[in-house]
Amino acid sequence: MADTCGQVLLGSGLTVLSHPLMYIKVLVQVGHEPLPPTLGRNLFGRQVYQLPGLFAYAKHIIKIDGKSGLFNGLAPRLCAGTIGTIVHSRVLQTSFVHTKAEEGSLQHVVNETTREMIARSCATIVTHPFHVITLRCMVQFIGREAKYSGVFDSVITVYREEGILGFFAGLIPRLLGDVLSLWICNMLAHLINTYAIDDSVSLHTSEIKNCSQAVTGFLASMLTYPFVLVSNLMAVNNCGLAGGLPPYAPIYPTWLDCWSHLSREGNMSRGNSLFFRKLPVGKTYAIDQKRFF
């Protein structure tokens, strides 16, 4: 119980610190670009037009809503984090795999990954309604709406307009992304630790293995990012907010239609990076009273 409380407190602190970053990322994912491109340099030193990055976007939000505006949607996100941590911990404690295996073996990795997958999936399903409300609280910035103003009022609004299914908009791609990311990360880390790291040679084997886990986790998150993007877009699509309606997005019947549309436009990585943001293909912006194509 003490460990769970510690995890909740730590997770809540990290959630508060990272919330402005997530807020801006969600607005970019939806396609909200209120600021014109600026002339900058890419990684190779070449002058190019780039969309404003994290700090310029944050200043824009502060100018409109003040510093507190960077924390829109924080309350439901904290609820999701707290409940998710508790559910994840409880499921891990109760779930077990009958097949025993030697620690470090492939079977052991499969067993532990399966347990983690079950725990994460349960936590995701239980907390997804709060995730949906969080995203909608954020996207309200685009149309200056006040439809989702609090956790309880938002729950009533979603249920009244969309029923139970409204709380689970975008759940399937989110679950698929989480599961794929977990398995890719753990399987790649196992392959690297087994075949690329020699325990008898290195004196820092444990540190190297931890590093490989972090690297494979980053790689897995990059590979599965399209699932995150599609899930977030479906959570706000056609919910009555400007950010979920044309021109920001068509009305998608299913998440597969959303995936197909983004793929055709070449926008599967939209919002993945908040730095060195290149101009999307086909978009037009005003730059110094001229049109830049």
**Tens digit of each residue's pLDDT (9 = 90 or more) over 220-260:** 999 999 999 999 999 999 999 999 998 888 999 999 999 99
Pick from 112, 118, 87, 108: nearest CA to 8: 87
182/234 Cα distance (integer angstroms): 22
Token pair in block for residue 62: 């502060």
The half-sphere exposure of 127 on its side-chain side, counting CA atoms within 13 A, is 25
Token pair in block for residue 116: 């983690």
Residue 263 has pLDDT above 80, yes or no: yes
pTM of the model as a whole? 0.89
**Tens digit of each residue's pLDDT (9 = 90 or more) over 65-110:** 999 999 999 999 999 999 999 999 999 988 766 667 777 788 889 9
- Element housing 51 (H / E): strand 47-51
Q: Are 271 and 229 in contact (CB under 8 A)?
A: yes
Residue 281 has pLDDT above 60, yes or no: no
**Tens digit of each residue's pLDDT (9 = 90 or more) over 100-151:** 777 778 888 999 999 999 999 999 999 999 999 999 999 999 999 999 988 9
